[in-house]
């Protein structure tokens, strides 16, 4: 009633992904506070329905000591070597 909005997410698909590595880290200044973000890169089979406004839930297949992480997709880029087979997902994690 106050004009607010409720954002909710649902599962589009569950797919296998290859974790390539942390890409880079960066710091941003927002509202006079510094926040750090670690970017991760994943390779998935090409899909036409993946958008940069989506999120991914990553559950590592090796023992990291962490539970599943929810990451925001920053960019969806066709793989340079095989653009019609794979997509690279650059995903950000708030630290």
Q: For residue 26, what pLDDT is reported?
A: 57
Strands 69-78 and 18-30: unpaired
Q: For residue 45, what pLDDT is reported?
A: 96
Strand partners of residue 33: 30
Determine contact, residues 56/91, Cβ cutoff 8 Å.
yes
Condensed to tens digits (0 to 9), the pLDDT of residues 34-64 reads 666 778 899 999 999 999 989 998 888 777 6
Which one, of 37, 24, 26, 17, lies nearest residue 79 by Cα? 17
Measured over the CA atoms of residue 70, residue 75, residue 81 and residue 82, the dihedral's sign is positive
Condensed to tens digits (0 to 9), the pLDDT of residues 5-39 reads 777 788 889 899 998 876 565 555 556 666 667 78
Rounded to two decimals, what is the model's pTM?
0.74
Which one, of 73, 71, 21, 70, lies nearest residue 49 by Cα? 73
């Amino acid at each position: 009633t106050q004009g607010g909005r409720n954002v909710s997410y649902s599962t589009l698909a569950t797919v296998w992904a290859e974790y390539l590595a942390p890409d880079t880290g960066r710091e941003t200044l927002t509202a006079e506070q510094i926040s750090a973000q670690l970017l991760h890169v994943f390779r998935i089979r090409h899909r036409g329905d993946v958008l940069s406004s989506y999120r991914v839930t990553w559950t590592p297949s090796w023992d990291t000591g962490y539970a599943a992480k929810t990451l925001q997709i920053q960019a969806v880029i066709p793989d340079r070597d095989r653009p019609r087979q794979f997509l690279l997902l650059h995903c950000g994690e708030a630290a």
